[in-house]
Amino acid sequence: MDGSTHPPSVAQLALDALALPASARAELAHRLLISLDESHDDDAEAFALREALRRSDELDRGVVRPVPLADAMERLRAGLRR
Q: Quick one: 12 and 30 in the same domain?
A: yes
The answer to whether 8 and 16 have CB atoms below 8 angstroms apart is yes
Q: Quick one: 45 and 35 in the same domain?
A: no
Q: Quick one: 73 and 45 in the same domain?
A: yes
As for how many domains the chain has, the answer is 2
How confident is the prediction along the chain (82 residues), in pLDDT tens digits per residue? 555 678 899 999 999 999 999 988 998 998 888 888 777 677 888 898 899 999 999 999 999 999 999 999 999 999 998 8
Amino acid in the structure at residue 59 = L
Domain around 55: 41-82
> DSSP state, 8?
P
The answer to whether 8 and 15 have CB atoms below 8 angstroms apart is no
Q: Quick one: 47 and 33 in the same domain?
A: no
Amino acid in the structure at residue 54 = R
